[in-house]
Amino acid sequence: MKNIWRTKEFKQFKERKIKDRCERCGSEEKLGIHHEVPFRDSLEKAKKEVGYYERLEKAMEKAKKEYFNEEAKVTTICKKCHFIEERGLRLCEYCKKKYYNPLFFDSCADCKSKAKEDIEKEMEMIERNEEEFFKRLDLEKQNN
């Protein structure tokens, strides 16, 4: 099977879709595109629609049509961000330099205190709003 990322269709699609900087970290180097829906998903779907595995060529054509659709959700992403995204990591939004695992943390280890401050501020906001909400409720009760 021909590598989909070496086809003319991919090259043209990429040229149309790519932006001038990484949408994750802002880098302008080593840019590529990242499809939200992986090609194998489009191919699996096409295989089911076409019906038989021996008609793989036909399924490939169908999958390509879906994958290279102008409406396809595509992000411009640099090589470094692509690499970390595939490992389930995320760029720290505080320093925009280090990476962290979003399953366990809110920032990289260096920015932990900043992330904690943010969360505390947010909690304070919620509490304050809650207080105001109940105060208003009390006022409304008194007025009725």
Residues that bind Zn ion (CB under 5 A): 22, 24-25, 27, 78, 81, 92, 94-95, 98, 108, 110-111
d(CA 130, CA 138): 12
Nearest distance from residue 139's CB to Zn ion, in Å? Answer: 44
For Zn ion, the closer of residues 25 and 56 by Cβ is 25
CB atoms within 10 A of CB 97: 11
Q: Choose between 24 and 47: whose C-beta lies nearer to Zn ion.
A: 24
SS3 3: coil
Which residue number, 65 or 96, has a Cβ lying nearer to Zn ion? 96
CB 112 within 8 A of CB 55: no
**CB of 56 or CB of 84, closer to Zn ion:** 84
The distance of closest approach from Cβ of residue 5 to Zn ion in the complex, given in angstroms and rounded to an integer, is 19
Q: How far is the CB of 23 from Zn ion (least distance, A)?
A: 8
Q: Which token pair is 74? A: 């595509």
Least distance to Zn ion, CB of residue 104, Å: 14
> In this complex, which beta carbon is closest to Zn ion, that of residue 67 or of residue 94?
94
Q: Tell the residue number behind the tokens 């003319």, with chain if given.
A: 8
Q: Which of 84, 1, 86 is nearest to 35 (CA)?
A: 86
Q: CA 54, CA 57: separation in Å to the nearest integer?
A: 8
Q: How many CA atoms lie within 13 A of 122 on its CB side?
A: 6
The CB-of-141 to Zn ion minimum distance in angstroms stands at 47
